[in-house]
Structure 1
Amino acid sequence: MSQERAVAASAVRLEELSSWSQELCRRELPSVLPRLLSMYQHSDNWIEHIQILKIIVEMFLPHMNHLTLEQTFFSQVLPKTVKLFDDMMYELTSQARGLSSHNLEIQTTLRNILQTMVQLLAALTGCVQHICATQESIILENIHSLPSTVLHVIKSTFVHCKDSESVYSGHLHLVSDLLQALFKEAYSLQKQLMELLDMVCMDPLLDDNDDILNMVIVIHSLLDICSVISSMDHAFHANTWKFIIKQSLKHQSVIKSQLKHKDIITSLCEDILFSFHSCLQLAEQMTQSDAQDNADYRLFQKTLKLCRFFANSLLHYTKEFLPLLSDSCCTLHQLYLQIHSKSPRSCLSIPLSLPFFLGPF
């Protein structure tokens, strides 16, 4: 037996595995993976958790059978990954109020937790990228633990970043670099996940309740994320909405009866109203300052474009799902009344006046 095989046959040592060749990883996968999974399940050390997860994702995931990933990997690892992330988030939030420039111990602890969370998100990104690179079309049931885990982690991350000013009690600057890194990693992970979900194939002739339910859960989870990021990144917010509408229409024939249409309509109406009111405020500021070539004017244009996007999305969605929207009539009518009652007639003197979006309603 070669020296490399002797290592594989003995107790798994992470420092040894990190130097293995791809060929050795492929050859020893059947014997080493169960031990790594057992170590992952029984480890109570966050750093070791991430080290094991990174080794599995980077060195052994490429050699696993993609048809059995859910059974052999995702279903065994990802539930513990979610618990690990939630535990770190709880510890982070619990200790954040003690953060100060004088308490170096808490500062070090919080920074270590944030760095570990960034690594965890990077490992999940590696999982998603692997699926995208190795499969032309995806059956959601074959990987269903992955999207649910990713969406849970992403939402929790965005909520924490959104609330960071209050969570860190005036000492945000001491960890802001790592919070930015965490947000960027979550942002990248969601973009990768949306690329993966765009590859999902659902046969309209098959009545697979699990697959339908999984896709519906994904869409509703992205809807929840939209409500979190709406005030954080307008472009990302709009792109997430664009994806929700696209997937709802793409799989319309199989998921239309399961979607929470009222929630989707209500959220779109709220986003229209918010961006519309922002346009009114900016238009008023521009009228008072009598200036057009300034930051307010450029922001007005961007906000107006966003408002049009939400209005067009609402029109498109209502057109496609009209027979299923009977319980949304009141919401749509209220939107029309609020827009019409505040039509910006006093702002028509500015060159780029606000349109009356909702005439067709």
Structure 2
Amino acid sequence: MSQERGAPASVVPLEELSSWPEELCRRELPSMVPRLLSMYRHSDSWMEHIQILKILVEMFLPHMNHLTLEQNFFSPVLPKTVKLFDDMMYELTSQARGLSSQNLEIQTTLRNILETMVQLLGALTGCVQHICATQESIILENIHSLPSSVLHVIKSTFVHCKNSESVYSGRLHLVSDLLQALFKEAYSLQKQLMELLDMVSMDPLVDENVDILNMVTVIHSLLEICSVISSMDHAFHANTWKFIIKQSLKHQSVIKSQLKHKEIITSLCEDILLSFHSCAQLAEQMTESDAQDNADYRLFQKTLKLCRFFANSLLHYTKVVEV
């Protein structure tokens, strides 16, 4: 019997399926994807979940009709993916306080969970990259499950990384390499998602539709992420703010009435205040140490630049949207 004819997903081992050639994946797409989706829905194993997800994204997603991705792929897959991530995050947080160099079992368990989460983020990155590569102009309604799911996972990741010192009770060094990998993967995923969202087109003649609500939700979610990463990565924080303001102004003719302008302005004002206080504190330290070209001075310059960026952003935003 020729191998090229393929076999049911319930029969073919996942390891073998992951090595199928591109043409076979394309030909067997109509029969294989429903079976893989069924396996994905009913599987209780985290590792099997990730294995199936990677096969779907890497082997079959490239051959799917982009107009039906929401209905046939994102809607069936992503809610379970988000739940999987939330379950892993809960397990990670619940067991983190038991981490120690003596307890190798918990150490191995936590490291395995973190490695699985990194792979899950990688699969989501593959979804986002596929959309960016195959569509010049994106209608948000056609992929609306993707941004919301990605943003949920990104925010949860950043919150966990931000709180890691307290979560791991002084034993952070035992998992710090994987936490860094998780942060980098989430950082990369958000950059890819912002690239995708920059390709979204919206009809200015439409007063209100699902697309508008989706874009508003995206902007508000990024605003929440900004508050999480403000003390973690200043450059990334500023770039996220640039994107929020750019998209708010780009689509203002259709989303202006739906945006929470007060929250956006309040957050900008808070960031101005925080960066200003940091500048004042650093200036005082430099005066006391009487040093002008040390690390404090370079940090003062960066913080001052950040303060100026927030002030200019606030001025530009309020002027354009006329709130």
- TM-score, L = length of structure 1: 0.87
Verify the 8 A CA contact 1:74 1:143 in the aligned structure 2.
yes
What CA distance in whole angstroms lies between the structure 2 residues aligned with 1:111 and 1:32?
Answer: 32
Q: For the structure 1 residues 10 and 215, does the alpha-carbon distance in structure 2 shift closer, same or farther, using more than 3 Å as the test?
A: closer
Aligned to 2:49: 49
Verify the 8 A CA contact 2:62 2:130 in the aligned structure 1.
yes
Aligned to 1:192: 192
Verify the 8 A CA contact 1:8 1:28 in the aligned structure 2.
no
Question: CA shift at 1:206, angstroms?
Answer: 2.1
Verify the 8 A CA contact 2:118 2:185 in the aligned structure 1.
yes
What CA distance in whole angstroms lies between the structure 2 residues aligned with 1:66 and 1:132?
Answer: 11
Verify the 8 A CA contact 2:25 2:59 in the aligned structure 1.
yes
Aligned to 1:127: 127
Q: Deviations over 1:84-114 (max 9, x none)?
A: 0000000000000000000000000000000
Verify the 8 A CA contact 1:85 1:117 in the aligned structure 2.
yes
Q: For the structure 1 residues 246 and 6, does the alpha-carbon distance in structure 2 shift closer, same or farther, using more than 3 Å as the test?
A: closer
Q: Deviations over 1:134-178 (max 9, x none)?
A: 000000000000000000000000000000000000100000000
Q: Deviations over 1:205-255 (max 9, x none)?
A: 123421100000000000000000000000000000000000000000000
Question: CA shift at 1:4, angstroms?
Answer: 2.6
Aligned to 2:176: 176
| Residues 114-123 or 291-300, more deviating | 291-300
Verify the 8 A CA contact 2:53 2:123 in the aligned structure 1.
yes
What secondary structure does 1:89 align onto? helix
What CA distance in whole angstroms lies between the structure 2 residues aligned with 1:207 and 1:81?
Answer: 33
Q: For the structure 1 residues 6 and 262, does the alpha-carbon distance in structure 2 shift closer, same or farther, using more than 3 Å as the test?
A: closer
Question: CA shift at 1:294, angstroms?
Answer: 1.0
Question: CA shift at 1:288, angstroms?
Answer: 1.9
Q: For the structure 1 residues 290 and 34, does the alpha-carbon distance in structure 2 shift closer, same or farther, using more than 3 Å as the test?
A: same
Q: Where has structure 1 moved over 4 Å in runs of 4 or more? A: none
Verify the 8 A CA contact 2:9 2:36 in the aligned structure 1.
no
What CA distance in whole angstroms lies between the structure 2 residues aligned with 1:9 and 1:51?
Answer: 13
Verify the 8 A CA contact 2:6 2:24 in the aligned structure 1.
no
Question: CA shift at 1:72, angstroms?
Answer: 0.3
What CA distance in whole angstroms lies between the structure 1 residues aligned with 2:188 and 2:9?
Answer: 38
Question: CA shift at 1:59, angstroms?
Answer: 0.4
Aligned to 2:248: 248
Q: Deviations over 1:268-308 (max 9, x none)?
A: 00000000011111111112222111111111100000000
Question: CA shift at 1:314, angstroms?
Answer: 0.2
Aligned to 1:314: 314
Aligned to 2:231: 231
Q: For the structure 1 residues 285 and 12, does the alpha-carbon distance in structure 2 shift closer, same or farther, using more than 3 Å as the test?
A: same
* Count of aligned positions: 319
Q: For the structure 1 residues 307 and 178, does the alpha-carbon distance in structure 2 shift closer, same or farther, using more than 3 Å as the test?
A: same
Question: CA shift at 1:29, angstroms?
Answer: 0.1
What CA distance in whole angstroms lies between the structure 2 residues aligned with 1:215 and 1:240?
Answer: 15
What secondary structure does 1:208 align onto? coil
Verify the 8 A CA contact 2:88 2:113 in the aligned structure 1.
yes
Verify the 8 A CA contact 1:12 1:32 in the aligned structure 2.
no
Superposition CA RMSD, Å: 1.0
Verify the 8 A CA contact 1:137 1:201 in the aligned structure 2.
yes
What CA distance in whole angstroms lies between the structure 2 residues aligned with 1:55 and 1:3?
Answer: 18
Question: CA shift at 1:52, angstroms?
Answer: 0.2
Which runs of 5 or more residues in structure 1 are unaligned? 320-361
Q: Which has the larger radius of gyration?
A: 1
What CA distance in whole angstroms lies between the structure 2 residues aligned with 1:45 and 1:305?
Answer: 48
What CA distance in whole angstroms lies between the structure 1 residues aligned with 2:10 and 2:47?
Answer: 23
Q: For the structure 1 residues 86 and 9, does the alpha-carbon distance in structure 2 shift closer, same or farther, using more than 3 Å as the test?
A: closer
Verify the 8 A CA contact 2:9 2:35 in the aligned structure 1.
no
Verify the 8 A CA contact 1:70 1:143 in the aligned structure 2.
yes
Q: For the structure 1 residues 213 and 51, does the alpha-carbon distance in structure 2 shift closer, same or farther, using more than 3 Å as the test?
A: same
Verify the 8 A CA contact 1:268 1:310 in the aligned structure 2.
yes
Q: For the structure 1 residues 61 and 268, does the alpha-carbon distance in structure 2 shift closer, same or farther, using more than 3 Å as the test?
A: same
Verify the 8 A CA contact 2:208 2:254 in the aligned structure 1.
no
Verify the 8 A CA contact 1:46 1:84 in the aligned structure 2.
yes
What CA distance in whole angstroms lies between the structure 1 residues aligned with 2:217 and 2:300?
Answer: 35
Query: Once the two structures are aligned, what percentage of the paired residues are identical?
Result: 90
